[in-house]
Amino acid sequence: MSKVEMSNQRTYRTKKMAGETDRVPELIMLPSTSNYRAALSFKEDGKDFVVPLRQELKIRYDKNTGEFYYDDVELDLLDLDKAREADLTTTDLWPLRVMYSIIGTSLIDQFNNGSLNPKNVIDHSVKVRVAELMGALCSKGNVSKDRAVDLINKLLNYSNVIGIIYEDDKIRNKEWRSFYPMLLWMAIEEKDNTIRFTSPYLNMLLYKVMEESIRVDKKGLPQHKKNGELLFEAHHSYLVKTSISKERNKRAAEIARIVCVLIEEAGDHGVAHITAQSILNRHAELKQAIDSTSDVSNQNKILRRSFVKAWELLHTQTRLEEVYDSIELPGEYDYPTMATLEKSFDFPHKGKKKGNS
């Protein structure tokens, strides 16, 4: 997909003219199941991870074969070591998480009634008002045509990002990797100022997370509510505000995400704890930054800037204090150095407040 320009012709960008659109939620849906807690990150952990590919080569879809290709190589046969983009700072994961949340919000009812399957999920598209998306992803300022073009072109860059999901073949008792494009196509409608996009990877990731979360009985059969809807185990965390996607310190924002998922995973009465080294191991871009310099003072500066801001974001860009009773968060000066990476950060609380179960 090539970069776009928008016409200078005046259009009336109103909600009424845009018709029915999918909403941008105020909270980000972060997968919290054990197999997908690292979802939408660069960390090769669990059942999926994200890989940015070199920008000079493009992914294409062959309608005749139904296969995706990258530089004329079938996507599933791709040599990742040769094709991946080495510099992880070129790919901002937060807009992808917002897009995932838009998709999840649009499909949740269909998941509940059990009407979705992989075939009708993978092609699912969403339609969003440009102004609403800009409000979620862009720093404060006028909603101008130039800024809209910049945002759209940023989204188009995700056409060279893929997601990899490990899938089980229960019959052959094997596991294989499936490669999915992050952004298959995107249409911009100037008439009503909307964007419509399809993401095979985000669609399938959502399906896999929800499928894994279906509650089953002793016979392995899905359980249902009295109204016929499926029963699910906890599958997503809703602790992080969508506005965190505008945060410039992406390393700090990623630490905040890791901590929120960890706290949710520990449960209502558990105490989450994690060492700085473990955070580093789960944070591929921060680890890359640390490994790129041998100067300990520079490494310590990177750690300080990342962790100090992360602790601030836990207060301002998450609902931790709103959801968890008396939760204790690290102080401003409680950050690690290269000499104290085994330092453990604990997040004790008295359980979830009433109404937040």
Give pLDDT tens digits for 130-160: 989 998 988 765 566 777 888 888 888 888 8
pLDDT tens digits, 324-337: 999 999 998 999 99
* Of 153, 141, 116, the residue nearest 5 (C-alpha): 153
Q: Which of 8-17, 113-122, 250-259 has the highest mean pLDDT?
A: 250-259
Residue 203 and residue 103 in contact, taking contact as beta carbons nearer than 8 Å:
yes
Residue 102 and residue 25 in contact, taking contact as beta carbons nearer than 8 Å:
yes
Give the pLDDT confidence score for residue 252 in this predicted structure. 97
Residue 31 and residue 22 in contact, taking contact as beta carbons nearer than 8 Å:
no
pLDDT of 62 strictly over 90 = no
pLDDT of 8 strictly over 50 = no
How far apart CA 308 and CA 321 sit, in angstroms, is 18
The dihedral sign for the CA sequence 39, 186, 75, 208: positive
pLDDT of 60 strictly over 80 = no
Calculate the CA 251 to chain-centre distance.
14
Q: What percent of the chain has pLDDT over 90?
A: 44
In the DSSP assignment, the letter for residue 181 is E
- The mean predicted confidence, pLDDT, of the chain is 85
pLDDT of 6 strictly over 50 = no
Give the pLDDT confidence score for residue 14 in this predicted structure. 44
Of 56-70, 73-87, 256-270, the poorest mean pLDDT is in 56-70
Q: Look up residue 111 and give its two tokens.
A: 């998941």
Give the pLDDT confidence score for residue 76 in this predicted structure. 79
Give the pLDDT confidence score for residue 233 in this predicted structure. 87
Identity at 266, one-letter amino acid code: A
How far apart CA 88 and CA 78 sit, in angstroms, is 19
List Cβ neighbours of 264 (8 Å cut-off, separation of 6 or more). 32, 234, 237, 239
Q: Look up residue 191 and give its two tokens.
A: 């008439």
How far apart CA 204 and CA 167 sit, in angstroms, is 11
How far apart CA 142 and CA 244 sit, in angstroms, is 19
Confidence bin at 202 (pLDDT 50/70/90): very high
pTM for the model = 0.87
Give the pLDDT confidence score for residue 247 in this predicted structure. 94
| Angle, CA of 330, 336 and 337, to the nearest 5° | 165
Give the pLDDT confidence score for residue 1 in this predicted structure. 54
pLDDT tens digits, 88-97: 887 899 999 9
Give the pLDDT confidence score for residue 4 in this predicted structure. 46
Give the pLDDT confidence score for residue 138 in this predicted structure. 83
